[in-house]
Amino acid sequence: MKWLTVCLSLLVSPVLAEEVVLGLSQDQVAITADFDGSEILLFGAVKREEPIAAEPLEVVIAVSGPQSPLTVRRKERKFGIWINTDAVEIDAAPSFYAVATSAPFSEVISNVEDQRHKVSIPRAIRSVGAPMDVLDAQSFSEAVIRIRTAEGSYQLRENAIQFDQQTLFRTSIKMPANLTEGDYSTRIFLTREGRVVSQFETVINVNKVGLERWLFDLSRNQPLIYGLMSLAIAIAAGWMASAAFQLLRRG
């Protein structure tokens, strides 16, 4: 009976011929007062149970920051002033999203697999519906992508993964200074002829530390004290600037 159970488990969960073995230069990013961004090195290898197949493998790596809903508004100039006209609720959009590939994106993963695993930047943004009176709702999601790409928060890095001898791969992901605190999901896909043959997932943790952490906690837990302290700092800065100006005038 035990032998039968083992056989059935092997049939249900077959051993993969190719699997991802991943490494990270760091699995934590500390946001300090002088934080100006970070670069994460991702490297790994393909573990095989069989000889290398004739069709080449490709690698896709996607790093996604915490997701949150947001409202996208359209402004139009009417009667000489800019006013909000339409608004669309985006159900979830990652604060940071980077995709790196070993070849052009359209060659490494098919549209069907992209839809299934939500790898590309447009697929990572979830927008269920829009008001009936908004005709071009898709343009609102495109605006989010355009703005965050310009900020460096969204990145598509084609041909950025070095893949040696169909076994070892490595790349780096530039993380900007305006990172949101939280867990950053990191997914690695092995693909062949556009199909995903293996995948691996890990997490990069991003946290505020030191003065940044203390100020953040103070603003959340003691907003009155934080407000008074901010006011005092502003008054002191204004007084010092005024005193310095007076000294310069006398000099």
Tell me the per-residue pLDDT of 171-189, one tens digit each, with 9 for 90 and over.
988 888 888 888 889 999 9
Better-predicted residue by pLDDT, 52 or 93: 93
Mean pLDDT of 236-243: 71
* pLDDT at residue 173, as a whole number: 86
What are 76-100's pLDDT values in tens digits?
Answer: 676 667 666 667 778 888 999 999 9
What is the DSSP secondary structure assignment for residue 126, as one 8-state letter?
B
Comparing 70-74, 104-108, 113-117, the range with the smallest average pLDDT is 70-74
* pLDDT at residue 251, as a whole number: 58
Q: Which is it for the CA torsion 52, 190, 155, 201, positive or negative? A: negative
Mean pLDDT of 63-69: 90
CA angle 47, 200, 27 (to 5 degrees): 105
Exposed/middle/buried for 175, CB within 10 Å: 0-12, 13-18, 19+?
Answer: buried
Mean pLDDT of 133-139: 67
Mean pLDDT of 210-225: 57
* pLDDT at residue 64, as a whole number: 93
Token reading at 109: 């993963």
* pLDDT at residue 189, as a whole number: 94
Please list the residues that pair with 78 across neighbouring strands.
81
Residue type at 242 in one-letter notation: S
Q: Which is it for the CA torsion 126, 132, 136, 139, positive or negative? A: negative
The domains of the chain are located at 13-66+93-208, 209-251
Residue type at 206 in one-letter notation: V
Q: Residue 109's pLDDT band (boundaries 50, 70, 90)?
A: very high
What are 149-159's pLDDT values in tens digits?
Answer: 998 899 999 99
Q: In angstroms, rounded to a whole number, what is the distance separating the alpha carbons of residues 222 and 210?
A: 17
pLDDT, the chain, mean: 76
Please list the residues that pair with 46 across neighbouring strands.
20
From residue 122, alpha-carbon distances to 92, 117, 144 in Å are: 12, 12, 10
* pLDDT at residue 68, as a whole number: 85
Helices (H), the chain: 2-12, 105-108, 111-117, 121-124, 138-151, 210-221, 223-250
Comparing 7-16, 38-47, 79-88, 196-205, the range with the smallest average pLDDT is 7-16
* pLDDT at residue 214, as a whole number: 47
* C-alpha closest to that of 205 among 184, 187, 178: 184
Comparing 12-21, 114-123, 136-145, the range with the smallest average pLDDT is 12-21
Rounded to 5 degrees, what are φ and ψ at 130? -140, 160
Q: In angstroms, rounded to a whole number, what is the distance separating the alpha carbons of residues 53 and 74?
A: 51
The CATH class given to the 13-66+93-208 domain equals mainly beta
Comparing 151-160, 182-191, 194-203, 237-246, the range with the smallest average pLDDT is 237-246
How many other CB atoms sit within 10 Å of the CB of residue 190?
23
